[in-house]
Structure 1
Amino acid sequence: MQPEIRRATPDDAEAAAWCHLLCWREAYDGLVDGAVLAERTSDLDRRIERWSHALGEGWIRWVAIDPDPAAGVEDRVIGFAAAGPARDDDAPTPLELFAIYARKAWWSTGLGARLLEVAIGKEPASLWVLEGNQRARAFYRRHGFHEDGTRVDEPFFGVPEIRMVRR
């Protein structure tokens, strides 16, 4: 059974916050110092507040809903994506993919490609990815993105990020 992908509503804030933190734990395990990752993914209330604020302000976020109707709140949202106007002063494209995540159990199922399609379609876009996240970089390359040589130190997790661009 395929997960439903739809625009998030304020009612999704708690489940989306759970997904956000759990995706970070799963995707960044081994890429981010364990103590830093644990600390940065421990504040569920703050993450719920951020999701509630964004959705209440009308920001567009796409969520993938677990097809299992018995899934609890922490497993109801199994992936999400967000895009919007590029934030970089030297933005190579007008559109930026801000985030795309899927729970580990859904990796290699096509869910990431579906989320990418609803978030940006085939439009030119840029994104930032942890430099060491080879799995994500390979995913983006399969969808036409290439490293543009721009690198920054990402302050939240304390690891380098690189920019990828699809023209």
Structure 2
Amino acid sequence: MQPEIRRATIEDAESAAWCHLLCWREAYAGLVDPGVLAERTSDIDRRIERWTTHIGAGRVHWIALNLDPAAGVKDRLAGFAVPGPSRDEDAPTPLELYSLYTRSRWWGSGLGARLLEVAIGKDPASLWVFEANQRARNFYRRNGFAADGAVVDDPFFGLPEIRMVRR
């Protein structure tokens, strides 16, 4: 059963926060130092607060609802995507994909492509991805993105990120 994609509401904040932290744990295992990953993905209350604040401020967050009736709060969402105006001073496009994640059980199902389509369509956009995250980089390449040479160090996880752009 394919997840249903819709815009998040404040009522979704707790499930979205769990999805966010669990996606990080699944996607970054093997990329981020295990101790750092455990510490950075342990504060569910802070993550709920961030989701609540952003959604309450009108920021668009797309969520993919897991339609399995047995799914609890931690597994209610299968993924999410967050677009918005570019935050870069040297923005190559006006639109940025801030985040796109799916739970590992949905990898390869087409859910990521569906979230990408809903979040930014075919519009030119930029995004930041960990340089070492080949799975994500390959996904974005398949969807028309290419590295533009910009590199920054992510302060939260301590890894280099590269910018990818779709013109």
Q: What is the TM-score of this pair, normalised by structure 2?
A: 0.99
Q: In the alignment, which residue of structure 1 is the partner of 2:62?
A: 62
Please, what is the CA RMSD of the aligned residues? 0.4
Question: Residue deviations 1:84-129, cap 9 Å, x none?
Answer: 1000000000000000000000000000000000000000000000
Identity of aligned residues (%): 73
Segments ≥4 residues shifted beyond 3 Å: none
Shift of 1:33: 0.6
Hey, what's the Cα distance between the residues in 2 that align with 1:65 and 1:73? 11
Hey, what's the Cα distance between the residues in 1 that align with 2:70 and 2:12? 16
**Count of matched residue positions in the alignment of Structure 1 and Structure 2:** 167
Give the SS at the match of 2:132: coil
Give the SS at the match of 1:148: strand
Q: In the alignment, which residue of structure 2 is the partner of 1:140?
A: 140
Hey, what's the Cα distance between the residues in 1 that align with 2:121 and 2:25? 27
Read off the aligned partner of 2:28 and give its amino acid letter. Answer: Y
Hey, what's the Cα distance between the residues in 2 that align with 1:107 and 1:2? 12
Hey, what's the Cα distance between the residues in 2 that align with 1:11 and 1:58? 14
Q: In the alignment, which residue of structure 2 is the partner of 1:48?
A: 48
Read off the aligned partner of 2:6 and give its amino acid letter. Answer: R
Hey, what's the Cα distance between the residues in 2 that align with 1:35 and 1:71? 28
Hey, what's the Cα distance between the residues in 2 that align with 1:129 and 1:2? 26
* 5+ long unaligned stretches in structure 2: none
Read off the aligned partner of 1:9 and give its amino acid letter. Answer: T
Q: What is the TM-score of this pair, normalised by structure 1?
A: 0.99
Q: How do 1:1-167 and structure 2 match up within 5 A? A: 1-167=1-167
Shift of 1:67: 1.4
Hey, what's the Cα distance between the residues in 2 that align with 1:66 and 1:156? 28
Hey, what's the Cα distance between the residues in 1 that align with 2:165 and 2:69? 37
